[in-house]
């Protein structure tokens, strides 16, 4: 667990709404660790510690070591409830994991090599359909991100999930189709020009049809 973020916590002796309110008045956030074949464990985390972890990002897709009274717990956050007015955390749920546990997580996509993308150099636009992908992953090998390589892509080309290298033992939750991640679309000016050209051709065809009808009369 050396590489995991560590969150220090303490055991909560009491559960329930009243106990949770007392915990918050002490500057702590009530939380619970559950799963893994063990009883749920009520805990409390300093509110500034939890806020710092949340602001660091990717809190719900990162393995965490919640150290409760000196005892390490490999967990992943499943939910953080917030105050509807202050937007501060008021409760957190953590799921116990073993090295081989399989879980579903949303993993962000990072696009690289934009400078080597002919479509973008020609004025095309990167249209992102999914900036994260839901994967079934093994707890011991959660990818930090997925890499989408734009090098060599032209206007009209697409990146689908099959074009992204996934870590061993990882698979997308959507398996019935090769779904799109992003594409290189034509610039809006070109699209407008094409639309105007289509309108012009349609108007010309209408004029020719009207002329033919007039000649028959």
112 and 45 in a common domain: no
Q: Give the pLDDT of residue 10.
A: 95
72 and 29 in a common domain: yes
18 and 80 in a common domain: yes
140 and 118 in a common domain: yes
Q: Give the pLDDT of residue 216.
A: 52
The answer to whether residue 198 is domain-embedded is no
- Strand 125-128 with 132-138, pairing: unpaired
Rounded CA gap, 194 and 202, in Å? 12
Place of tokens 């717990």: 73
63 and 17 in a common domain: yes
Rounded CA gap, 40 and 21, in Å? 19
The answer to whether residue 197 is domain-embedded is no
Phi, psi at 108, each rounded to 5°: -70, 155
The answer to whether residue 30 is domain-embedded is yes
**What confidence tens digit (pLDDT) does each residue in 87-105 have?**
999 999 999 988 788 888 8
Return the number of other C-beta atoms located less than 10 Å from residue 61's C-beta.
20
The answer to whether residue 127 is domain-embedded is yes
164 and 147 in a common domain: yes
Question: pTM here?
Answer: 0.65
The answer to whether residue 13 is domain-embedded is yes
Burial 170-208 (b: 16+ CB within 10 A, else e): bebeeeeeeeebbbbbbeeeeeeeeeeeeeeeeeeeeee
Phi, psi at 107, each rounded to 5°: -110, 130
156 and 113 in a common domain: yes
78 and 120 in a common domain: no
Q: What is the mean pLDDT of the chain?
A: 85
φ/ψ region of 123 (left if φ > 0, alpha if ψ in -120 to 50, else beta) reads left
CATH number of the domain residue 130 falls in: 2.170.120.20
**What confidence tens digit (pLDDT) does each residue in 130-165 have?**
999 999 998 878 888 899 999 999 999 999 999 999
117 and 93 in a common domain: no
110 and 58 in a common domain: no
Its domain, for residue 152, covers 104-191
User: With bands split at pLDDT 50, 70 and 90, how would you rate the model's confidence at 2?
Assistant: very low
> What does the chain come to in residues?
217
Count of domains forming the chain = 2
Give the three-state DSSP class for 66.
strand
**What confidence tens digit (pLDDT) does each residue in 163-172 have?**
999 988 899 9
CATH number of the domain residue 47 falls in: 2.40.240.10
Phi, psi at 29, each rounded to 5°: -110, 120
pLDDT greater than 70 at residue 204 = no
153 and 79 in a common domain: no
pLDDT greater than 70 at residue 44 = yes
**Which of 44, 67, 98 is a domain's end point?**
98
Q: Stretch 185-212: mean pLDDT, rounded?
A: 56
CA–CA distances in Å: residue 33 to residues 42, 89, 90, 145, 147 = 7, 16, 15, 26, 32
């Amino acid at each position: 667990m050396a590489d995991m973020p560590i969150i220090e916590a303490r055991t909560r002796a009491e559960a329930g709404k009243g106990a949770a309110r007392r915990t918050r008045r002490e500057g702590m956030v009530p939380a619970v660790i559950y799963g893994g074949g063990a009883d749920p464990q009520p805990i409390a985390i300093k509110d500034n510690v939890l806020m710092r972890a949340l602001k660091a990002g990717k809190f719900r897709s990162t393995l965490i070591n919640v150290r409760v009274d000196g005892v390490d717990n490999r967990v992943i956050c499943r939910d953080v409830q917030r105050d509807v007015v202050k937007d501060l955390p008021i409760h957190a749920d953590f799921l116990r994991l073993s090295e081989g546990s399989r879980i579903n997580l949303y993993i962000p996509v990072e696009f690289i090599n934009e400078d080597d993308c002919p479509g973008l150099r020609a004025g095309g636009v990167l249209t992102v359909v999914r900036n994260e992908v839901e994967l079934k992953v093994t707890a011991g090998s959660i990818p930090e991100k997925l890499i989408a390589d734009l090098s060599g892509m032209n206007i009209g080309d697409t990146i689908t999930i099959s074009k992204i290298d996934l870590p061993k033992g990882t698979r997308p939750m959507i398996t019935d189709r090769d779904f799109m991640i992003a594409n290189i679309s034509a610039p809006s000016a070109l699209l407008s020009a094409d639309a105007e050209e289509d309108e012009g051709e349609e108007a010309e065809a209408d004029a020719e049809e009207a002329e033919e009808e007039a000649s028959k009369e």
